[in-house]
Every structure is written in C-alpha cells, then in structure tokens.
C-alpha cells in the first residue's frame, strides 16, 4: 500500500474486523494484533469484531481474547448467530427452531424469543458444530420436508484452524439441501443484511467505515456489495496469488493488521 492508502485507512472512523485469520489462528495470536487493537483504542476508533462463526457467544469470544492477552468489552463482538437471531425475530417473532449448532447460536435464539422444537419447528437452523451426526441430519431432512424453512448461519464452506482447515457451515448444511432439494438462506457474510446490522451497531455511515478481512468470498465481497471500503490481509486463507481467481478486487491489500498501525 502507498502512504496515501495508509492515510485513507487510518482516517476512517470505524473498523469492522474479521477475527480468525485476521486477529488469530485458532489459539495463536497473530503478529501485530495487540498493537492494532491498542491503536484502535488510543485513536478513539469505533470497532466491531465480526465473525461468521456461530459457535461462541460474545462473552466467550471476549474470554478467548483475554486468554490471548487482549482486553476488550463484550459489546465489540458481533457473530452470525446474533445476526441470524435478529433476522428470524423480524421474520417470525416468537417462532421455534430445530438447531444443529453450538451454545452461541442456541443462546442467541433464546434471547430473541425463540424456542427449541424438534417436532414441528418453523425453522431448521444449521451452524458450525462438532456435535454433527447422521441422526441430526436425518431429523433435519424430515423436518424440512414437512415444511420447516432451512437457514444457514453463514455460507462458509471451510474455516481456519490452528492445524489446518475444518468444514464450516455450508459444508454441514449441504447434505440437508441435497436430500430435500431445498436451498438454505444464509444470513452471515457476504449477506449485506449482516453488514447493515454491523453499521447500525457501530452508529457509523458506510463512507466512514472500513472492513478488514482475510477472505475474498465473504469479507471483501461483503464490503463491496455494502459499499464499504475493504482491506484484504494476507494473514489468513487468501494469498496474493489467489487474487487472480476473483473478478473483483479489495480496495487495499496488507500483509497483516500490523501494517495498519502508525
């Protein structure tokens, strides 16, 4: 990036940052993360750590960063589980759901006024989980065939892990889609709905905001479709050589968030 590029980024009032691949890999803090967050605080920037993962609640994410030596408030986290719960509450207040997912998703739905239902739910909702099983797939398939609407918390096919890649939400939802010939509705990035929620939470306009992410197919396209400036960091799943595989470009490219710190 040029000096002018850096100046433009640092002048932004608000930062929406992906987490895995941008701030950390698994349980390993990435170089520059501590300095970047210290700068955001010192410069009085508004910031939101936005993740497509639906496994953890904001409290759990706060505690994870604390274990890595980073102290931030619980309110700076926004997950696809929260976005899914907000969306479904607007669609069907007081509805019910059959959930294949972890506590972060289930708690968000409870907080939005939803109940759990494995007999005749309004929705079947799939998020990331290590408790995936054939029995749950079979139950989900039959509930969708009986009229439940299929929702995925995000369209990620794979995710980052400390020792490689792991199947993510779309990979887990695919068997239900194929068996029912139904297309799930995915709420997380790059759905502009999640980005609008994030801007409302920040209280900022898109022109004064930048999104920092490591994925072209979620973070960067989400920013482009929401007309928010984008910074692709090469510390996650996207390498510089991968850019030629996409028909769109990020506004800026950096090796890591360390480059964003004055």
Q: Please identify, in words, the CATH class of the domain defined by 81-186.
A: alpha beta
CA angle 130, 183, 194 (to 5 degrees): 70
**Catalytic residue list contains 217:** no
Sign for the CA dihedral angle at 99, 105, 107, 112 comes to negative
Strand runs (DSSP E) across 34-156, as ranges?
Answer: 46-51, 77-79, 96-100, 115-116, 123-126, 149-152
Task: Using the structure block, give the residue that is written with the tokens 């096919």.
Answer: 157
Q: What is the pLDDT of residue 161?
A: 63
Q: What is the pLDDT of residue 5?
A: 84
Sequence-separated (6 or more) residues with CB below 8 Å from residue 103: 55, 56, 57, 60
Beta bridge partners of 254: 233
pLDDT in tens, 81-104: 999 999 999 999 999 999 999 999
Q: How confident is the model at residue 160 (pLDDT cuts 50, 70, 90)?
A: low
Residue 196 contacts residue 218 (beta carbons within 8 Å): no
> Is the pLDDT reported for residue 163 higher than 70?
no
Fold category of 3-52+189-260 in CATH: Rossmann fold (3.40.50)
Domains of the chain by residue range: 3-52+189-260, 81-186
Check 20, 122, 156, 229 and give the catalytic one: 20
Task: Report how far apart, in Å, the C-alpha atoms of 165 and of each of 143, 159, 185, 242 are.
Answer: 30, 6, 24, 17
Task: Report how far apart, in Å, the C-alpha atoms of 244 and of each of 2, 127, 220, 240, 247 are.
Answer: 21, 30, 14, 8, 7
DSSP-derived pairing of the beta strands 164-167 and 158-161: antiparallel
pLDDT in tens, 120-152: 999 999 999 999 999 999 999 999 999 999 999
Q: Cα separation of 249 and 236, whole Å?
A: 17
Q: Cα separation of 126 and 60, whole Å?
A: 20
Q: What is the pLDDT of residue 7?
A: 86
> Is the pLDDT reported for residue 166 higher than 90?
no
pLDDT in tens, 236-254: 889 999 999 999 999 999 9
User: Which H/E stretch holds residue 16?
Assistant: strand 14-17
Within a 10 A sphere around the Cβ of 166, how many other Cβ atoms? 14
**Catalytic residue list contains 20:** yes
pTM: 0.90
Q: What is the mean pLDDT of the chain?
A: 94
Torsion of CA 7, 247, 54, 10, to 10 degrees: 0
Q: What percent of the chain has pLDDT over 70?
A: 98
Q: Assess whether the region 3-52+189-260 and the region 81-186 belong to the same CATH fold.
A: yes
Strand runs (DSSP E) across 105-257, as ranges?
Answer: 115-116, 123-126, 149-152, 158-161, 164-167, 185-186, 209-213, 229-233, 252-254
Check 5, 18, 122, 156 and give the catalytic one: 18
């Amino acid at each position: 990036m040029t000096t002018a590029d850096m100046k433009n980024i640092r002048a932004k009032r608000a930062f929406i940052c992906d987490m895995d691949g941008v701030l950390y890999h698994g349980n390993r803090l990435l170089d520059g993360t501590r300095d970047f967050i210290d700068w955001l605080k010192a410069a009085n920037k508004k910031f939101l750590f936005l993740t497509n993962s639906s496994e953890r609640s904001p409290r759990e994410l706060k505690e994870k960063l604390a274990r890595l030596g980073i102290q931030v408030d619980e309110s700076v986290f926004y997950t696809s589980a929260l976005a899914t719960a907000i969306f479904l509450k607007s669609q069907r207040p007081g509805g019910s759901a059959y959930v294949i997912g972890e506590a972060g998703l289930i708690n968000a739905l409870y907080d939005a006024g939803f109940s759990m239902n494995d007999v005749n739910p309004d929705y079947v909702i799939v998020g990331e989980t290590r408790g995936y099983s054939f029995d749950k797939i079979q139950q989900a398939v039959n509930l969708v065939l009986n009229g439940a609407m299929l929702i995925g918390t995000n369209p990620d096919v794979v995710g980052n892990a400390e020792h490689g890649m792991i199947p993510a939400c779309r990979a887990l939802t695919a068997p239900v889609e194929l068996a029912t010939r139904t297309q799930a509705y995915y709420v997380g990035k790059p759905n502009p709905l999640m980005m609008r929620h994030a801007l409302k939470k920040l209280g900022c306009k898109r022109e004064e905001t930048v999104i920092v992410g490591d994925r072209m197919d979620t973070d960067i396209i989400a920013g482009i479709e929401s007309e928010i400036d984008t910074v692709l960091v090469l510390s996650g799943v996207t390498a510089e050589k991968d850019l030629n595989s996409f028909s769109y470009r990020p506004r800026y490219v950096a090796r890591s968030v360390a480059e964003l710190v004055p």
